[in-house]
Amino acid sequence: MASLLPQMPHRCEAVILLRTERLYLRQFRAQDAGLLLELDSDPEVMRFITKGQPTPILQIEQEILPRLLGYYAQSPPRGCWAAHLRANDEFVGWFHLRPDKLQPDEMELGYRLMRAVWGEGLATEGSRALLQRAFTEWAYAKVSARTLLPNLASQRVMQKAGLQFESRFVYPTEMIPEWNETERQAVKYSLTREEYQRRNPEASSEAQF
């Protein structure tokens, strides 16, 4: 049986999307199931996603990874990218920019990071870099982000990244069926390209090519 231990990519093999001061984001590969398994096996990481339940390896291999790999053929870029520390290539989670599930005409920003790097500003750093690329090179009209109401840490990241509170809502039952209506209460933050350009008239790049 193949090993499920996380495998670190060699830099020359990685298809890198962008670099920030401390991170680089690369395309996932079919052999990255172990990385996702490690990330999704931490109950605290999954607290506001599955009430702490880990993602089964078969779901990762048969559903999640094929979906992630399918995004990369699309243009402008969209999808989910593995995040690594530039200092040592350590895998620390992922960031995504994909069509919003509730409003597909908008792009949704998201991230999931290893607990070991929480509180270091990496979520904000990666989010800002994706927003910069989304509103300049890729010319997306609007980017939004959603999180459950009690997830205050995620909301702070959205605010620091430059997103503005838009609305409070309740996730539909079919999206998170194991949660009751109170638990499904959530908030949405968003930013338009016009507002981003107004704040950043020179659209100075935070992501390094």
**Rounded CA separation 84/176 (Å):** 29
CA distances from 74 to 100, 103, 108, 128, 148 (A): 16, 19, 16, 22, 29
Question: For residues 174 and 176, what is the distance between their CA atoms, to the nearest angstrom?
Answer: 6
Q: Over the chain, what is the mean pLDDT?
A: 92
Structure confidence at residue 201 (pLDDT): 87
- What value does the mean pLDDT take over residues 6-33? 82
Report pLDDT digits (tens) over 49-73.
Answer: 999 999 999 999 999 999 999 999 9
* pLDDT at residue 5, as a whole number: 37
Residue 24: alpha-carbon gap to chain centroid: 13
Q: State the pLDDT at residue 51.
A: 95
Both tokens of 141, joined, read 């009209």
**Domain 11-199 homologous superfamily, CATH:** Gcn5-related N-acetyltransferase (GNAT) (3.40.630.30)
Given this model, what pLDDT does residue 195 score? 96
End-to-end alpha carbon distance in the chain: 39
- Provide the pLDDT for residue 187: 98
- Residue 203's pLDDT is what? 66
Sign of CA dihedral 155, 117, 207, 31: negative
Q: Determine which helix (DSSP H) or strand (DSSP E) holds 129, and give its type and residue range.
A: helix 122-135
Q: At what angle do helices 152-161 and 122-135 cross, to 10 degrees?
A: 40
User: What pLDDT is recorded for position 54?
Assistant: 97
Q: Where are the domains of the chain?
A: 11-199
